[in-house]
Amino acid sequence: NAGVTQTPKFRVLKTGQSMTLLCAQDMNHEYMYWYRQDPGMGLRLIHYSVGEGTTAKGEVPDGYNVSRLKKQNFLLGLESAAPSQTSVYFCASRKQGAGSGYTFGSGTRLTVV
Partner 1 sequence: GENVEQHPSTLSVQEGDSAVIKCTYSDSASNYFPWYKQELGKRPQLIIDIRSNVGEKKDQRIAVTLNKTAKHFSLHITETQPEDSAVYFCAASLGSARQLTFGSGTQLTVLP
16 within 8 A of 80, measured Cβ to Cβ: yes
Beta bridge partners of 25: 4
CA distance 19 to 1: 27
Interface stretch with partner 1, choices 20-28, 34-42, 60-68, 75-83 (CB under 8 A)? 34-42
Total of residues contacting partner 1 (CB under 8 A)? 25
Quote the CA–CA distance of 29 and 43 in Å, as a whole number. 21
Judged by CB under 8 A, the stretch of 16-24, 33-41, 67-75, 76-84 that binds partner 1 is: 33-41
Binding of partner 1 at residue 104 (CB under 8 A)? yes
| Amino acid making up residue 106 | S
- The CA distance from 4 to 23, in Å, is 7
- Considering the complex, state which of residue 75 and residue 91 has its C-beta at the smaller distance from partner 1: 91
Residue closest to 51 by CA, chosen among 31, 34, 72, 35: 31
Q: Which stretch binds partner 1 (CB under 8 A): 21-29, 63-71, 77-85, 95-103?
A: 95-103
Confirm or reject binding of residue 59 to partner 1 (CB under 8 A): yes
Residues contributing to the site for partner 1 (CB under 8 A): 31, 33, 35, 40-45, 48-50, 56, 58-59, 90, 94, 98-99, 101-102, 104-107
